[in-house]
Amino acid sequence: MSTDPLPSRTPGHKPGLSAFSAFAATWVFVLVTLGAFTTSIGAGMAFPDWPLSNGSLNPSGWLTNIAMFAEHSHRLSAGLMTILTIALAAWIWRAESRRWLRRLSLFAVGLVVFQAVIGGLRVLLEGVQVAAVDTSLGRLFAMLHACLAQGLACTLLAIAIGCSAAWIRSPIPVGPMVRRLGRVCCVLLFIQLGIAAVMRHSFAGLAIPTFPWSNPDGGLIPEAWNFRVGIHFAHRVMAVVLTLAVVSYAVAIWRDRSASLAMRSGASTLLSLLGLQVIIGAAIIRTMRNPTITTVHVLIGALTLATAFWLTWLAHRDTIEGTPAP
């Protein structure tokens, strides 16, 4: 006799839950895109209040003013993201017998609520200056807000993968090298996206206005240094490190005979995203930080992390589930 207090919890694939989790995981990238565009056009403080916008859910003029539209759309999409995440967790707790998936869904709820609060503090504390780092407390929260968005994307992606039919029915016994390199790539990508968040909110996107060189004379090292130059240069150095790591990871997947066709295709996609990201990064410098190109750069960065995380999560499937799938 089952001891589960909810007899509706059953093993196996649930198509409705799978589709809903996939939609929630996809929506987070809409949120990332809107947030990136808001930052790119400097509209993060289009409204000085929170959670309402000028005291309203439908502020006057937001559909015709680009700054107000960007910020309010971001807030509305964040509200929908919160609703989707809570609904997903409730569905999982009602229907799923896997304890790790139920716990992960609760973590997602905590993360999305925390992300919303940090977003609000970014607005409410913009006027508080932090002399030690020559910026506002609100901007420090904005940097954290950007990093948490990547963590939320990976969490929802992990849930969506865990709910998919392929995950439930098909074990993927890849070798330890693939798993190890996947973890390394995910950590490096998180670090890079964190550096990028600090760079964006420190107005350092054009601190080094030449590419691929770091000074007008064609040198690799900047001639003059300050914090903004340093964080920008760190972003470029990490891009080189990431290129080496991602190429190594893709090669390891291609050479692993146990890797599925989906994983091999994913490795190719990961390399393509990396190459595209470098091209778009160069375009940002050459267009003097065009907002649309900058937004695409942020989105591609998030998709690159998501692809690396997807591959790594698949590689750890048997460890996460505890036993191979039947």
Instruction: Please state which of the ranges 77-91, 159-173, 196-210, 270-284 shows the lowest mean pLDDT.
Output: 159-173
CA atoms of 264 and 61, how far apart (whole Å): 48
For residue 268, is pLDDT > 60? Answer: yes
pLDDT at 325 over 70: no
The reported pLDDT for the residue numbered 6 is: 53
- Rounded to an integer, the average pLDDT of 268-275 is 97
pLDDT for 134-155, tens place per residue?
A: 899 999 999 999 999 999 999 9
Q: What is the mean pLDDT of the chain?
A: 93
pLDDT digits (tens, 9 = 90+) for 153-212: 999 999 999 999 989 887 778 999 999 999 999 999 999 999 999 999 999 999 999 999
> Is the distance from CB of 288 to CB of 197 less than 8 angstroms?
no
- Beta carbons of 158 and 301 less than 8 angstroms apart: no
> Does position 37 have pLDDT exceeding 60, yes or no?
yes
pLDDT at 213 over 90: yes
pLDDT at 71 over 90: yes
pLDDT given at position 173: 83
**Amino acid of residue 300:** I
Residue of higher predicted confidence among 3 and 94: 94
Q: Report helix, strand or coil for 204.
A: coil
Handedness of CA 82, 85, 88, 92 (dihedral sign): negative
Residue 210 DSSP code: S
pLDDT band per the 50, 70, 90 thresholds, residue 254: very high
